[in-house]
Structure 1
Amino acid sequence: MVDQALAFLGTCAVDGKPLSPSRLVDPEWHAFVLHTREYREFCHRVAGRFIDHVPTDEARAGAGEPAMALHRTVEAIRAAGYVVDPELWFASGQAKCTQCHNGCADDPPPPPAAESTL
C-alpha cells in the first residue's frame, strides 16, 4: 500500500486534474502526512510544493463522481509511469479526501453556497 500511496502522490505532483486515493491507499497517505517534516520534504522534492490533504464534501460530489474519480486517478497514475495494483484501488472504493480544494490544489476557494451551480 505504501508504494501505491507514493505513486498517487507522485502523480499528484505532475497531473493537474483532481485525483483521489482509494479507501485502502488513503490510510498510507494519512500515515505519511503525520510525519510532517519528511512529508513536506518529499512533496517539495517531487512536486516543488506541498501536496495538501483535503477532506471531500460528499454533498458537492455529483452522482457517479467517486467511481469516475477513482478511474481518473488510476489512469493518471499509469500515465505517469507507475504500476497500479487494481485490488488496492477498486476493491474498496474512493476515500473521502483528495489533494484538491475546489477542483485542484491551486484553485481559488469554492463559491458561496448561494452561487453554487451544483
Structure 2
Amino acid sequence: MTTVLEQPVKARQGRDLVTPQLFERLVDFCADEYGLERCVAERIQCEAIAMCYVMGTTKAGDVMAPSKLVDPGWHTFMLHTEEYANWCRENFGYFLHHRPNSKLRTNGLMVDVVGRIKAEGFEVDERLWGTAADCNAPTCCGDGPCC
C-alpha cells in the first residue's frame, strides 16, 4: 500500500486572474484615485477582482455587492473599460454590469458574499468586508496603514 501525502491547495487570489502588468496599473490607479496607501490598494484590488470573477462565473451579480472598502477596486477595474470588457468576455462570455445599491451593505450580505468567494476557492481578506472576527478599528479594518 502506498500512502500519498496531499499537498495543501493554496487559495486563489484575485490578482491571479489578470496579468501582473494590469494588476499593477489597477493598483496604482486605485491608490492615486482614492488616496490610499499602495499596500491597501493592492488588498482592495485583489478582493474586487475575486468578487467580480465569482459574480460573473456564478451569475450571482444580482445578489452580491462589494463592501464600502472593496467598491473602489471594482470602480477602478471598470474605469479601465477596454481591459474590463475583454476580461468579462473572456471569463464569462458577457459584460458584468455594476448595479449600485449602497443601501444593501449589511453585515449579513457581506458574510454571504465572503462565503460565496471562499466557496469558489479564493483567499479572502475579511477585514475589508467588515466580517473579521476580532476587529480593533482603525488598525485592522482597512483604515490603518498596511493592515
TM-score interval for Structure 1 and Structure 2 normalised by the shorter chain? 0.5 to 0.7
C-alpha RMSD of the superposition: 1.8
1:15 aligns with 2:64: no
Runs of 5+ consecutive residues of structure 2 not aligned to the other structure: 1-43, 131-140, 143-147
Equivalent pairs counted in the alignment come to 87
Matched with 2:110 is 70
> How do 1:65-104 and structure 2 match up within 5 A?
66-90=106-130, 91=141
- Is 1:41 the counterpart of 2:86? The answer is yes
SS at match of 2:129: helix
Which structure carries more relative contact order (alpha carbon 8 Å, separation 6+)? 1
Q: Which runs of 5+ in 1 are unaligned?
A: 93-118
Identity %: 33
Aligned amino acid, residue 5 of structure 1: A
Give the distance between the partners of 1:69 and 1:33, measured in 2 at CA. Answer: 22
Q: Deviations over 1:29-83 (max 9, x none)?
A: 101111111110111112211111112173xx5xxx7222111100000001110
Checking the alignment, whether the CA contact within 8 Å between 1:15 and 1:76 is kept in structure 2 is: no
State the match for 2:35 in structure 1: none
Moved over 3 A (4+): none
TM-score (structure 2 length as normaliser): 0.54
Matching residue of 2:45: 2
Following TM superposition, by how much is the alpha carbon of 1:14 offset from its aligned partner in structure 2, in angstroms?
2.2
- Higher helix fraction (1 or 2): 2
The one-letter code matched in structure 2 to 1:11 is V
Contact 1:25 1:88 in 2 (8 A): yes
Distance 1:15 1:86 in 2: 21
Larger-gyration structure (1/2): 2
TM-score of the pair, normalised by structure 1: 0.66
